[in-house]
């Protein structure tokens, strides 16, 4: 699950560039969520 990726991994992608397409967009979104300390917003989705 992308929500479980560590912040340093997402930061590396931010420095090196995210891949193109949907995966890159989701990784960039996860980076923003992690960078702004908003991971708690994802907790309701984990219950599925």
* One pLDDT digit (tens) per residue for the chain, 48 residues: 899 999 999 999 999 999 999 999 999 999 999 999 999 999 888 876
Task: Supply the pLDDT for residue 47.
Answer: 76
Task: Supply the pLDDT for residue 45.
Answer: 84
Task: Supply the pLDDT for residue 48.
Answer: 62
Tell me the CB-side half-sphere exposure of residue 34, using CA atoms within 13 A: 19
Burial of 45 (0-12, 13-18, 19+ CB in 10 A): exposed
Task: Find out whether 45 and 9 touch, Cβ atoms under 8 Å.
Answer: no
Task: Supply the pLDDT for residue 26.
Answer: 97
Question: Six-digit token pair at 3?
Answer: 């929500």
Task: Supply the pLDDT for residue 17.
Answer: 96
């Amino acid at each position: 699950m992308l929500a479980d990726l560590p912040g340093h991994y997402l930061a590396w992608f931010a420095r090196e560039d995210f891949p193109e397409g949907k995966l890159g967009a989701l990784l960039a979104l996860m980076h923003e969520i992690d960078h702004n300390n908003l991971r708690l917003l994802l907790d309701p989705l984990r219950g599925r």
